[in-house]
Homo-oligomer: A and B are copies of this chain.
Amino acid sequence: MSLRPVFLLTTALALAAPAVFAQEAADPGATPEAGVAAAPDSPDAELRAEAAEWFEPIPRAAELPSGRPITQPRIELGKTLFFDPRMSLSGVFSCQSCHNVGLGGTDMLETSVGHGWQMGPRNSPTMLNAVFNAAQFWDGRAEDMAEQAKGPVQAGVEMNNTPDNLIETLESMPGYGELFAAAFPSEEQPITFDNFALAIEAFEATLITPNSAFDQWLMGIDGAMNEQEKRGLRAYLDAGCQSCHAGVNFGGQEYYPFGLIEAPDADVRPEGDVGRFEITQTEDDQYVFRAAPLRNVALTPPYFHSGVIWELEDAVRIMSSAQLGTELTDEQAMDITAFLGTLTGEQPQIVHPILPVRGAETPRPQPITLPANAPAE
């Protein structure tokens, strides 16, 4: 959080910026625009300098923090797996079902609908820019996107599959054999549950949203944000939102109790979901969650892990009172909401994959059959 602005800005301007967690030396090949950003004669110079102490633009490409390779064949395989509903036991749900690339990486439901029409316990978080998070899931229980990818596919309320059935499914389709061989060319048996997860991770690492209005402004374009949005940024900083929601992803880095100052209503913070406490069994982790990343937040209602708040402005007010003990004025709440809208970046343009043809041995989908008595197809 204390990087000097010039470092952040030059990093951001590199087309294939390295993982943004690492502190970089100033790039000697910085483009002229970096100079614009630092121009002291801009009326926004002071606000920009303060913002640059806290935030970084989304780069146009990301690396995995682990250093694992993001090769084109891995991306292609990962994309295919991500969109394939046959990864679920029922044949109904794919990763895309709850992390829709057309809906900001979410499903816009309070909580997701899964196998047998069960409702998941938490709101589906976006995978867009998830590569920039320190850990995955609301409670950070997965270290990275590969570990995360192994979760929903096995969860009983989500895809309800088993690694064995998944591998049998993948092995039965020659198309997947080719995709895995290309993605993991040095391995004799490339179709493994680990590689399934690594491929999805590689694809998801490409799902980033650069060039938001805020990022353009941060990089020196005064007109990229309007006056209300700039007032909102000022109010965001004055209120202290950046204490938790900062960095390249405006969050996703650290853990905080939800209700640091004042417990939210029980519908917003259901009593039964104690957050990180379930992972650590540490009393201090009661109702502790990972600070939500705020990139594209205007695209992803409803809000909070409970998913019960549908308006961003309401979410802003709740956070302000629960976490900071501040009652925002109407104008402040509206301005901050307007500012958050500037965090919407370019959404990924994904060509829907053509999925491999099933084989004779491919396990059949296993939905739970219920009686039907309705119009025919």
Contacts of A111 in B (CB 8 A): 372, 377
Which of A240-248, A252-260, A361-369 participates in binding chain B? A361-369
A56 CB–B CB distance under 8 Å: no
Q: How many chain A residues have a CB neighbour from B under 8 Å?
A: 70
A69 CB–B CB distance under 8 Å: no
Query: Are B85 and A370 touching (Cβ within 8 A)?
Result: no
Smallest CB-CB A-B distances: 3 pairs: A117-B117, A157-B374, A122-B377
Which of A225-233, A322-330, A350-358 participates in binding chain B? A350-358
A119 CB–B CB distance under 8 Å: yes
Q: Which residue of B lies closest to A137 (CB)?
A: B377
Which of A4-12, A23-31, A99-107 participates in binding chain B? A99-107
A121 CB–B CB distance under 8 Å: yes
A112 CB–B CB distance under 8 Å: yes
Query: Are B109 and A91 touching (Cβ within 8 A)?
Result: yes
Q: Which residue of B lies closest to A365 (CB)?
A: B109
Q: Which residue of B lies closest to A374 (CB)?
A: B157
Using known A-B contacts A354-B347, A357-B298, A377-B138, determine if residue A372 contacts B120 with beta carbons closer than 8 Å. yes
The CA of A108 and the CA of B363, in the complex, are separated in Å by 12
Of B108, B123, B360, which is within 8 A of A365 by CB? B108
A317 CB–B CB distance under 8 Å: no
A-B contact pairs, 11 of them (CB 8 A): A84-B102, A91-B108, A101-B352, A102-B354, A119-B367, A119-B370, A137-B376, A157-B374, A278-B376, A350-B352, A351-B351
Query: Chain B nearest CB: distance from A39 CB in Å?
Result: 33
Residues A73-118 near B (CB distance < 8 A): 83-86, 90-92, 97, 100-103, 107-113, 116-118
A44 CB–B CB distance under 8 Å: no
Question: What 1/0 flags go to A291-315 for Cβ under 8 Å of B?
Answer: 0000000110100010000110000
Query: Are A92 and B116 touching (Cβ within 8 A)?
Result: no
A19 CB–B CB distance under 8 Å: no
Contacts of A151 in B (CB 8 A): 375
Query: Are A100 and B85 touching (Cβ within 8 A)?
Result: yes
The CA of A109 and the CA of B101, in the complex, are separated in Å by 23
Query: Are A353 and B137 touching (Cβ within 8 A)?
Result: no
Query: Are A109 and B92 touching (Cβ within 8 A)?
Result: yes
The CA of A124 and the CA of B90, in the complex, are separated in Å by 15
Using known A-B contacts A298-B357, A358-B301, determine if residue A113 contacts B90 with beta carbons closer than 8 Å. yes
Of B97, B121, B158, B377, which is within 8 A of A123 by CB? B377
A349 CB–B CB distance under 8 Å: yes
The CA of A177 and the CA of B61, in the complex, are separated in Å by 33
Query: Are A118 and B374 touching (Cβ within 8 A)?
Result: yes
Query: Chain B nearest CB: distance from A32 CB in Å?
Result: 31
A147 CB–B CB distance under 8 Å: no
The CA of A117 and the CA of B86, in the complex, are separated in Å by 17
Query: Are A118 and B84 touching (Cβ within 8 A)?
Result: no
